[in-house]
């Protein structure tokens, strides 16, 4: 059992921000045009929660070594 | 090239000496397994740069839609 | 930071274990350390004022909160540009270069008085220019300089603004002379050695700067100062624009080169590795010396009066400039990967977890580099002649340069400060976790603001206006709505400002921290592939300077000739000269 450090959570959260912002743009490539910005953020908020839960239950490799 | 030849005798020679003449440490003392030039293959860098180039290509493709399909074409000259 | 060096040196002296080591920079070169501190102090004050004006603008033009009159928006915009893009960046550069040149040549400047002379000249120039901009906010003072960062005709500023700028540039020239004298002194002692890498970076950057500032010097001294004093008529806008952009593009590399210096020489150490290749680093700096200047016309793709062919040449040179930046992406990432592998990193992507992400200096520089990769893409769009027409003078362009100078440079400088300030003050960083939070917050804030600016630019929203709305016309965003883009810009701007306040507080508390800095004993590691593997010709600074001059002549002589022949020096075909000069000219010509 291991948990991600606050620094790792901060960086993972930060990395999700640009993805959440660009996600609606990526969807326009496949023809989905009306995917709202707020919906995208809600979605990636859930992704972040999922990572939190996963880090509680999984044995995270390398969590003690720097990240 | 000179250093590579020296390194071929004993791999450890490729590493820098631990200290400069004035006593300052060159390397962090906590580095336990120094990696010489011969043993280091930056494949992770290759992977990251490939990802970047794929993103660039996709962005350029997207630019085509923005420039030519979203709006009227821009004429130069 | 203003505390006298002597008292700083006494920190920890009573306790041998925590005393500053004799090899540390501040003990070996106390005068240079003080010069660096003064330069950083100027840089951070400019950063504070410029940043405050930045957030006011972001909230004003998005119509979220309006605390100023729309007419004052342009004063703040000018101050934001000049304080951040000239004063903050170049004073920080002066500090970094003074540190790097002294450290790598292992000797202080020859004459401390000369060093203080350039610090004083730059300071005087800053106070004059900055003061004349800020005076625009005070109705009682009849001085203003609301000409924006791009100070060319027909907008006119008070003469003090131009005189201050000229003094500032002269100060940077003197600083370059100081660093070259340091180098020549080293060369006399080491006739056959390769130039140390950091010093090589300082010298090539300064050569580029001497060449490129010729344009702005002629613009300011020959045209703008006499015009603002009322001695001469207004110069042709196209001519002053061309002279401005002669300097205006290379100046972006002048900001970037100290960031590159930190990425190449300090970042590998922070990651626990070594620079991958010294020869590649030298090639990159030589390429910037050669190619930075003959590209300025790419800012003028929409200027009538410059032939398409000249613009095409500028575009070609600009695309070549991608080469050194892509070389940098490879070399810097490979150096960081080397650090990760030395610390047990494995796999194609797994090595990324073996890096010191808790270190704000490391994480800040890495995030800055990541944003620069995105800025590289929008830069390619700007540089392409036909696509430029799509985004020219839209808010896309500020979106682009907030990625480059606003993040690649500014965030690297902030990260570098977390590493360098303890080395020039002898005081431990106040808080690393707060520093880490600050650099990540900057990254998030810029992601919001810059992405929304790019997208707004694609929808056609103009830049540099307090009121970006036109009656009977609505902008249409490609994705999402314009009001959502506005909120993102405002939100991002607020995050950036909060991040800035945290940074300045952390640095101020560091300057007042009585704990001695640690880790000063280890020096920067040498490159994996050292200077002995790089061709000797790379160190021939004279040769590269001559080639750079030739390239500039090739790129600029014909366009300038055709501007002067077509539009003339002065508007409406006036051939003007002061009354006292006229008789002399008649005799001569």
Taking residues C30-46, what's their average pLDDT? 96
> Is C353 an interface residue toward A (CB < 8 Å)?
yes
Q: Write down the pLDDT at residue C404.
A: 96
Rounded distance between C-alpha atoms, residue C387 and residue C377, angstroms: 12
Instruction: Answer whether residue C502 shows pLDDT above 90.
Output: yes
At C265-288, the pLDDT tens digits run 999 999 988 999 999 999 999 999
| Contact of C246 with C556, CB cutoff 8 Å | yes
Q: Rounded to two decimals, what is the model's pTM?
A: 0.89
Q: How confident is the model at residue C474 (pLDDT cuts 50, 70, 90)?
A: confident
Task: Among C355, C479, C488, select the one facing A66 at the smallest CB separation.
Answer: C355
Spatial neighbors of C505 by CB under 8 A, at least 6 apart, are none
Spatial neighbors of C37 by CB under 8 A, at least 6 apart, are C1, C2, C95, C424, C425
In terms of pLDDT, which residue wins out, B38 or C528?
A: C528
**Shortest Cα distance, chain B CAs vs residue C23, angstroms:** 6
Give the active site residues of C: 249, 253, 400-402, 463-464
Max alpha carbon distance in chain A (Å)? 42
Instruction: Answer whether residue B32 shows pLDDT above 60.
Output: yes
Q: Is C522 helix (H, G, I), strand (E, B) or coil?
A: strand
Indicate yes or no: CB of B44 within 8 angstroms of CB of C337: yes
| Contact of A51 with C481, CB cutoff 8 Å | no
| Contact of C467 with C62, CB cutoff 8 Å | no
Q: Is C456 helix (H, G, I), strand (E, B) or coil?
A: helix
Q: How confident is the model at residue B21 (pLDDT cuts 50, 70, 90)?
A: very low
Rounded distance between C-alpha atoms, residue A15 and residue A17, angstroms: 6
Instruction: Answer whether residue C362 shows pLDDT above 80.
Output: yes
Q: How confident is the model at residue C146 (pLDDT cuts 50, 70, 90)?
A: very high
Which residues of chain C are within 8 Å of residue B29 when distances are taken between CB atoms? 522
In terms of pLDDT, which residue wins out, A5 or C167?
A: C167
At A34-50, the pLDDT tens digits run 788 889 999 999 999 99
Taking residues C358-371, what's their average pLDDT? 96
Instruction: Answer whether residue C134 shows pLDDT above 90.
Output: yes
Residues in chain C: 589
Q: Write down the pLDDT at residue B63.
A: 75
Q: Write down the pLDDT at residue C9.
A: 47
> Is A26 an interface residue toward C (CB < 8 Å)?
no
> Is A37 an interface residue toward C (CB < 8 Å)?
yes
Q: How confident is the model at residue C57 (pLDDT cuts 50, 70, 90)?
A: very high
> Is C437 an interface residue toward A (CB < 8 Å)?
yes
Least confident residue range of C51-65, C299-313, C450-464, C466-480:
C466-480
Instruction: Answer whether residue B47 shows pLDDT above 70.
Output: yes
Taking residues C582-587, what's their average pLDDT? 66
Which residues of chain B are within 8 Å of residue C330 when distances are taken between CB atoms? 45, 49
Indicate yes or no: CB of C522 within 8 angstroms of CB of B70: no
Q: Write down the pLDDT at residue B28.
A: 56
User: How high is the mean pLDDT of chain A?
Assistant: 80
Instruction: Answer whether residue C480 shows pLDDT above 90.
Output: no
| Contact of C237 with C301, CB cutoff 8 Å | no
| Contact of C489 with C58, CB cutoff 8 Å | yes
Please report the number of interchain residue pairs, chain B to chain C, with beta-carbon separation below 8 angstroms.
99
Three-state SS string over C72-114 comes to: HHHHHHHHHHHHHHHHHHHHHHHHHHHHHHHHHHCCCCCCHHH
At C514-561, the pLDDT tens digits run 888 888 877 788 888 888 888 899 999 999 999 999 999 999 999 999
Instruction: Answer whether residue C496 shows pLDDT above 70.
Output: yes
Q: Write down the pLDDT at residue C541.
A: 95
| Contact of C20 with C30, CB cutoff 8 Å | no
Rounded distance between C-alpha atoms, residue C79 and residue C146, angstroms: 8
User: How high is the mean pLDDT of chain C?
Assistant: 91
Q: Is C473 helix (H, G, I), strand (E, B) or coil?
A: strand
**Domains in chain C, ordered, with CATH?**
25-588 (1.20.210.10)
Indicate yes or no: CB of C308 within 8 angstroms of CB of B76: yes
Task: Among C342, C345, C523, select the one facing B20 at the smallest CB separation.
Answer: C523
* Distance (Å) of CA C452 to CA C20, C132, C382, C430: 47, 33, 17, 34
Three-state SS string over C311-374 comes to: HHHHHHHHHHHHHHHHHHHHHHHHHHHHHHHHCCCCCCCHHHHHCCCCCHHHHHHHHHHHHHHH
Q: Write down the pLDDT at residue A33.
A: 75
| Contact of C40 with C122, CB cutoff 8 Å | no
Instruction: Answer whether residue A25 shows pLDDT above 90.
Output: no
Task: Among A10, A28, A36, select the one facing C436 at the smallest CB separation.
Answer: A10
| Unique residue bearing structure tokens 């010298």 | C203
CA dihedral C496, C502, C504, C508 (to 10 degrees): 180
Q: Write down the pLDDT at residue A67.
A: 40
Q: Compute φ and ψ for C277, nearest 5 degrees.
A: -150, 115
Q: Which residue of chain C comes nearest to B52, CA vs CA? A: C373
Q: Which residue of chain A comes nearest to C483, CA vs CA? A: A37
| Contact of C302 with C392, CB cutoff 8 Å | yes
Q: Write down the pLDDT at residue C577.
A: 55
User: Which runs of consecutive H residues, i.e. helices, occur in C106-139?
Assistant: 112-134
In terms of pLDDT, which residue wins out, C458 or C396?
A: C396
Q: How confident is the model at residue A2 (pLDDT cuts 50, 70, 90)?
A: low
C454: nearest Cα among C409, C495, C401: C401
Taking residues A6-15, what's their average pLDDT? 90
Q: Write down the pLDDT at residue C145.
A: 92
Q: Which residue of chain A comes nearest to C356, CA vs CA? A: A66
Q: Which residue of chain C comes nearest to A14, CA vs CA? A: C444
Q: Write down the pLDDT at residue C1.
A: 41
Q: How confident is the model at residue C153 (pLDDT cuts 50, 70, 90)?
A: confident
Percent of chain C with pLDDT over 70: 94
Q: Write down the pLDDT at residue C562.
A: 92
Q: Write down the pLDDT at residue C530.
A: 86
Taking residues C376-391, what's their average pLDDT? 89
Q: How confident is the model at residue C18 (pLDDT cuts 50, 70, 90)?
A: low
Instruction: Answer whether residue C431 shows pLDDT above 50.
Output: yes
Which residues of chain C are within 8 Å of residue B49 when distances are taken between CB atoms? 329-330, 333
Rounded distance between C-alpha atoms, residue A49 and residue C201, angstroms: 46
Which residues of chain A are within 8 Å of residue C484 when distances are taken between CB atoms? 37
Spatial neighbors of C32 by CB under 8 A, at least 6 apart, are C25, C98, C99, C102, C108, C109, C115
Instruction: Answer whether residue C430 shows pLDDT above 60.
Output: yes
Task: Give ipTM to 2 decimals.
Answer: 0.82
Task: Among A14, A24, A65, select the one facing C344 at the smallest CB separation.
Answer: A65
Taking residues C366-395, what's their average pLDDT? 92
């Amino acid at each position: 059992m291991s948990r991600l450090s606050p620094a790792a959570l901060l960086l993972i959260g930060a990395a999700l921000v640009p993805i959440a912002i660009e996600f609606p743009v990526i969807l326009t490539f496949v023809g989905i045009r009306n995917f709202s910005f707020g919906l995208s953020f809600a979605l990636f908020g859930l992704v972040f929660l999922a990572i939190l839960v996963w880090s509680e239950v999984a044995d995270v490799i390398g969590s003690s070594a720097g990240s | 090239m000179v250093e590579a030849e020296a390194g071929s005798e004993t791999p450890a020679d490729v590493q820098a000496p631990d200290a400069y003449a004035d006593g300052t440490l060159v390397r962090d003392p906590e580095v336990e397994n120094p990696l010489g030039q011969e043993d280091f293959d930056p494949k992770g860098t290759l992977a990251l740069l490939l990802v970047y180039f794929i993103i660039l290509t996709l962005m350029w493709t997207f630019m085509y839609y923005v420039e030519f399909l979203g709006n009227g074409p821009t004429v130069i000259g | 930071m203003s505390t006298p060096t002597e008292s700083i040196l006494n920190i920890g002296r009573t306790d041998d274990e925590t005393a500053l080591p004799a090899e540390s920079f501040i003990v070996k070169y106390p005068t240079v350390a003080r010069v660096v501190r003064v330069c950083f102090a100027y840089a951070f004050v400019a950063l504070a004022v410029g940043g405050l004006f930045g957030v006011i603008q972001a909230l004003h033009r998005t119509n979220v909160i309006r605390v100023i009159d729309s007419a004052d928006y342009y004063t703040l915009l000018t101050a934001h540009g000049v304080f951040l893009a000239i004063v903050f960046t170049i004073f920080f550069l002066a500090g970094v270069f003074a540190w790097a040149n002294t450290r790598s040549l292992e000797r202080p400047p020859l004459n401390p008085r000369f060093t203080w002379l350039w610090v004083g000249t730059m300071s005087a120039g800053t106070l004059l220019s900055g003061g004349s901009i800020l005076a625009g906010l005070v109705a009682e003072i009849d001085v203003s300089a609301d000409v924006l960062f791009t100070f060319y005709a027909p907008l006119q500023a008070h003469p003090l603004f131009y005189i201050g700028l000229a003094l500032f540039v002269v100060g940077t020239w003197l600083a370059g002379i100081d660093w070259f004298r340091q180098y020549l002194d080293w060369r006399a002692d080491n006739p056959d050695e390769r130039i140390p890498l950091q010093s090589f970076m300082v010298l090539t950057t300064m050569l580029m700067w001497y060449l490129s500032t010729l344009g702005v010097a002629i613009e300011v001294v020959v045209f703008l100062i006499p015009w603002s004093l009322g001695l001469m008529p207004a110069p042709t806008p196209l001519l002053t624009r061309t002279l401005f952009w002669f300097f205006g593009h290379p100046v972006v590399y002048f900001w970037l080169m100290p960031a590159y210096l930190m990425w190449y020489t300090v970042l590998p150490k922070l990651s626990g590795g070594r620079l991958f290749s010294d020869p590649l680093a030298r090639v990159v700096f030589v390429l910037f010396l050669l190619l930075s200047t003959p590209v300025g016309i790419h800012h003028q793709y929409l200027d009538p009066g410059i032939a398409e062919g000249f613009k095409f040449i500028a575009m070609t040179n600009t695309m070549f400039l991608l080469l050194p930046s892509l070389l940098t992406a490879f070399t810097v990432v490979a150096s960081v990967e080397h650090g990760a592998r030395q610390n047990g990193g494995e796999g194609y992507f797994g090595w990324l977890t073996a890096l010191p992400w808790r270190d704000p200096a490391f994480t800040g520089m890495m995030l800055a580099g990541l944003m620069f990769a995105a800025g590289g893409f929008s830069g390619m769009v700007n540089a392409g002649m036909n696509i430029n027409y799509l985004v020219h003078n839209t808010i896309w362009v500020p979106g682009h340069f907030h990625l480059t100078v606003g993040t690649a440079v500014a965030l690297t400088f902030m990260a570098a400060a977390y590493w360098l300030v303890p080395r020039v003050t002898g005081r431990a960083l106040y808080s690393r976790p707060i520093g880490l939070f600050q650099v990540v917050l900057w990254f998030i804030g810029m992601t919001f603001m810059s992405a929304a600016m790019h997208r707004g630019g694609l929808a056609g929203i103009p830049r540099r206006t307090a009121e970006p709305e036109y009656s009977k016309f609505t902008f249409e965003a490609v994705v999402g709505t314009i009001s959502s883009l506005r909120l993102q810009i405002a939100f991002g701007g607020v995050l950036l400002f909060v991040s800035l306040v945290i940074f300045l507080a952390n640095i101020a508390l560091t300057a007042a921290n009585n704990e001695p800095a640690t880790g000063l004993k280890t020096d920067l590691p040498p490159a994996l592939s050292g200077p002995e593997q790089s061709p000797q010709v790379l160190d021939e600074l004279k040769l590269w300077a001559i080639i750079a001059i030739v390239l500039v002549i090739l790129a600029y002589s014909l366009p300038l000739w055709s501007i002067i022949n077509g539009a003339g020096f002065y508007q409406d075909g006036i051939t003007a000269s002061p009354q006292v000069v006229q008789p002399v000219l008649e005799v001569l010509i």
